[in-house]
Amino acid sequence: MAAPMWKTIPCKIAELRLDLTLACGQSFRWKEYMPGIYTGVIGNGVWQLHQTDTELFYKVYRNKDDVKAELGDAVDIKQEIKTEPDLDTVVPAKKRKKENSKMHCIKKEPVDNLIPKVKKDLETMNSHCLKSFPPVHNNSSVEQETDSDDHVLKDYFQLDIKLEEMYKSWSKADQHFSKISKEFTGIRMLRQEPVECLFSFICSSNNNISRITSMVDKLAKHYGRKILVSNCVDGEEFYIFPKVEALAAEGVEENLRKLGFGYRAKYIQQSARYIQENGGEDWLYTMRSMEYKDAKKNLMKLCGVGAKVADCVALMCLDQPGSIPVDTHVWQIAARDYMPKLKQAKSLNEKLYEEIGDYFRDLWGPYAGWAHSVLFTADLKQFKNGTKESPKKAVKRKGKDSTKEEKKKSKSK
């Protein structure tokens, strides 16, 4: 299957920062395999994302059957998939047999060599962006796919919500937010699929981002369905997140314990069974139309779902923008910058949890959960020195540090 072309939708970087939004602990399915290009799974597709100051670029890789199911039989699937020349037209079959066995993978595209002939058709991109992209397709059969994919991406990032205006409102209400947000623009809440979001955060209990990511990958690999059966992207394999019934099946808890999930294995299987017995995935989706407190109360009926996990799920996939997940980290932010009396508290009990949430809801308004995420991100270790360091700079710095260390060792000898 030929690789799809880059497509684009208008999106100012002030409305969305990929490097911050995808790395602040909302979703655990995105990785930056190449500088500035983020690869992850949304629904049944593998997505690659990149942005400039004014546009959001994307590619989508799917199984043919999934494309057919989404678009209907009226669309010519071959024309839909083959957005670039067939391999047979550019590389003779005999020569291809001599190529490395890894040719079945969709190769990483060199940053400086993405079809140079289209440079004149694109705006000049700033220094942190790719130098060139293939042009956006305009033929009718692909437009139908593009329109559908545009909708998926806009919904996932909730791009209909004007983030710049909310930043201005929060800054007027909160001097501390005004100061912090100048460096941390474009952080917005994702609208994830409820099943994936829920079980990801069940895995987050007493855990770090690296281990949570590993667990989510294991759930997808062992109980989901592989995307691109005969291909891979960035040299990696990707899987659709498993259905509730797969996680509710007999033997899941035992297998997950063997895979290193510990006590969370029980939470996952029992929560999956509860959901299955109460209407399946539809039970989760009904919470998008509930009042915040009702949605949270329902979520906390699940095994292993406490107040903090329930608030994360409510905020990140159930359309509850006023939800404030309060963990020890947020408690410390509140005590340090907003509510000094909290410094005297010895533990984060239920009463304090509600008090902190209500304080921020009164301060920031209906989208308080979004504002809270900005301060939470700014306080993460990887962003302590401002916004995230680019991979290229990190490699250079690491090289210099290594050289200095080697010199010190040689002197000591």
What residues are labeled active site? 308
3-state SS class at 290: coil
**Radius of gyration, alpha carbons of the chain:** 23
Distance of CA 356 to the CA centre of its chain: 27
Cβ atoms of residues 190 and 27 within 8 Å: yes
Cα separation, 106 vs 104, whole angstroms? 7
Hey, how many other C-beta atoms are within 10 angstroms of the C-beta on 127?
6
The angle subtended at Cα 20 by Cα 17 and Cα 26, nearest 5°, is 115
Complete edge-to-edge strand list for the sheet that includes strand 45-51: 7-10, 55-61, 45-51, 37-42, 31-34
Helix axes 328-337, 368-378, angle to 10 degrees: 90
Tokens coding 360 = 């921020």
Hey, how many other C-beta atoms are within 10 angstroms of the C-beta on 107?
12
Tokens coding 365 = 């308004």
Cα separation, 375 vs 373, whole angstroms? 6
Residue with tokens 């210099």: 400
- What are φ and ψ of residue 226, in 5° steps? -70, 140
Cβ atoms of residues 130 and 85 within 8 Å: no
Hey, how many other C-beta atoms are within 10 angstroms of the C-beta on 362?
10
CA-based nearest residue to 36, from 122, 145, 112: 112
Cα separation, 161 vs 311, whole angstroms? 20
Using CA atoms, how far residue 378 sits from 45, 163, 213, 364, in Å, is 30, 17, 21, 17
Hey, how many other C-beta atoms are within 10 angstroms of the C-beta on 108?
14
